[in-house]
């Protein structure tokens, strides 16, 4: 990963042979990965890999915001996703970030089971429809949905091929409720 690039959680930054895992990163099997959305920087003096929010003043979520969220749990009637980024903002989010996406809010068409549309660990783009008393999300528009999906077998990033997603590592084929720009989103304009 090139320094100063915007990165998503889970993205590979470096290896533990090259750098140490610093603020905003974590290490797994010798790979240093981003733990949050932000800009990738290297503290040359301490050989630390870090992911920095550009400013420390937090942003409050508002109704109508377009956000990125990481899918945590999937129930029969809803998806629970952690809001990790507000479009156009480089600040962290203050307060509660647990969003709920009801089954009726996933798509324009009927969705029987959210487990056919999303998987835990996916990064989705969603719209905030409510912030109080809890955060509600929707992904009905074609610009919304999964922008980065992980293989449920080996956790590698899924690559879009026609209407199906395929794992570049193990060849596993999966489907998702993808955003129209899946795999080709602009990382500097999230
Ligand atoms: Zn795989």
**Average pLDDT by consecutive 10-residue portion of the chain (190 residues)?**
85 94 94 90 94 76 94 94 87 85 95 94 96 95 94 92 91 94 76
Report how far ligand 1's centroid is from the alpha carbon of 73 (Å).
Answer: 20
pLDDT tens column, 70-117: 999 999 999 999 999 898 887 778 888 899 999 999 999 999 999 999
pLDDT for the residue 56 = 62
pLDDT for the residue 96 = 83
Report how far ligand 1's centroid is from the alpha carbon of 156 (Å).
Answer: 5
Q: 121 exposed, middle or buried (CB, 10 Å; 0-12, 13-18, 19+)? A: middle
Report how far ligand 1's centroid is from the alpha carbon of 153 (Å).
Answer: 5
Calculate the average pLDDT of the chain: 91
pLDDT for the residue 54 = 63
Report how far ligand 1's centroid is from the alpha carbon of 147 (Å).
Answer: 17
Strand order in the sheet with 31-34: 12-15, 31-34, 25-28
Alpha-carbon torsion 105, 159, 20, 90, what sign? negative
Report how far ligand 1's centroid is from the alpha carbon of 146 (Å).
Answer: 17
pLDDT for the residue 55 = 63
Q: Which domains does the chain have, with CATH numbers?
A: 6-53 (2.40.50.100), 66-147 (2.40.50.140)
């Amino acid at each position: 990963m090139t320094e100063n690039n915007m990165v998503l959680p889970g993205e590979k930054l470096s290896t533990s042979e090259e750098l140490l895992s610093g603020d905003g990163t974590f290490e797994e099997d010798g790979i240093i990965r981003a733990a949050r959305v932000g800009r990738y920087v290297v503290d040359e003096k301490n050989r630390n890999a870090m992911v920095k929010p550009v400013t420390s003043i937090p942003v409050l979520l508002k109704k109508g915001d377009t956000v990125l969220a990481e899918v945590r749990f999937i129930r029969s009637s809803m998806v629970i996703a952690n809001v990790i980024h507000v479009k156009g903002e480089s600040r962290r989010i203050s307060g509660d970030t647990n969003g709920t996406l009801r089954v009726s809010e996933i798509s324009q068409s009927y969705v029987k089971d959210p487990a056919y549309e999303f998987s835990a660990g996916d990064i989705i783009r969603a719209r905030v429809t409510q912030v109080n008393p809890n955060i509600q999300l929707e992904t009905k528009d074609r610009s919304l949905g999964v922008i980065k999906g992980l293989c449920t077998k080996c956790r590698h990033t899924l690559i879009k091929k026609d209407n199906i997603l395929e794992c570049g590592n193990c060849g596993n084929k999966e489907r998702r409720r993808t955003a129209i720009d899946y795999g080709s989103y602009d990382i500097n304009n999230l």
